[in-house]
Amino acid sequence: MSSQDFSALLKQEAEEASKSEDFTAAVGPLRRIVQDKVPSKSAPLDRATAKVRQQAAQKLPQKEAESASSGFVQMVGPNEELEFRRPGVQPYVLRKLRQGEYREADFIDLHGLTLEKAYEKVMNFMGFAQDHEFRCVLIVHGKGEYRKQKALIKSYVAHWLKQLPEVLAYRSAPEWKGGTGALMIVLKKGEKASALNRELHARR
């Protein structure tokens, strides 16, 4: 390499170094970007739910055991009012539940139960209600205000009921039936009632 070519190379390197310094000054100090990571494991609460469901499912008929999922459970407050209705269910159903216009055919009380026992009792009760074609039932779950994990059973009951296809709607009960410590639930019509309705309409 000639001295002229070497001088030209040195000049080129000096220019590139100058550009690099200008860029660094313009953008400021560089910081390594840490890539967000999606947890590969479920939260501890979800694992607990799965364990509860697995243990309880072993004691239940297959129909009830497969009804409620062990997915993410949204925790609610002890005094939070809850309501749920499926698409197609008219809003007035919730209003009537709030005002206590529906009369429950039966009820259960979950006070003092573990999460596993509560799951078992709720699933058995809902299966019983469906078999007897009840249209409205009441579940007293309590508020869990004084427990270490507040409103635990309340949160899980609301989660379980949303996944039962026979549940059309539910809402926190009127004060005289338990208030935010209980749920009034509207169920689908049973086969017998549906067949009777079809027969009445046919006669008209």
- pTM, rounded to two decimals: 0.64
- Give the model's pLDDT for residue 64: 47
The 3-class SS string of 156-175 reads HHHHHHHCCCCEEEEEECCH
Write out pLDDT tens, residues 118-161.
Answer: 999 999 999 999 999 999 999 999 999 988 889 999 999 999 99
Alpha carbon 123 to its chain's center: 17
**Is it the case that residue 2 has pLDDT exceeding 60?**
no
**Is it the case that residue 36 has pLDDT exceeding 70?**
no
Q: Answer whether 138's CB lies under 8 Å from 109's CB.
A: no
* 68-102: burial string, b at 16+ Cβ within 10 Å, e else: bebeebebbebeeebbbbeeeeeeebbebbeeeeb
One CATH from 3.30.750.24, 3.30.1370.110, 3.40.50.1100, 3.30.70.20 for 44-194 = 3.30.1370.110
On average, the pLDDT of the chain sits at 77
**Is it the case that residue 89 has pLDDT exceeding 70?**
yes
Q: Using CA atoms, how far apart are residues 48 and 129, in angstroms rounded to an integer? A: 27
- Give the model's pLDDT for residue 112: 94
Q: Using CA atoms, how far apart are residues 112 and 16, in angstroms rounded to an integer? A: 76
Q: What are the sequence ranges of the domains in the chain?
A: 44-194
Q: Which residue has the higher pLDDT, 68 or 23?
A: 68
**Three-class SS of residue 75?**
coil
Write out pLDDT tens, residues 160-197.
Answer: 999 999 999 999 999 999 999 999 999 998 776 555 44
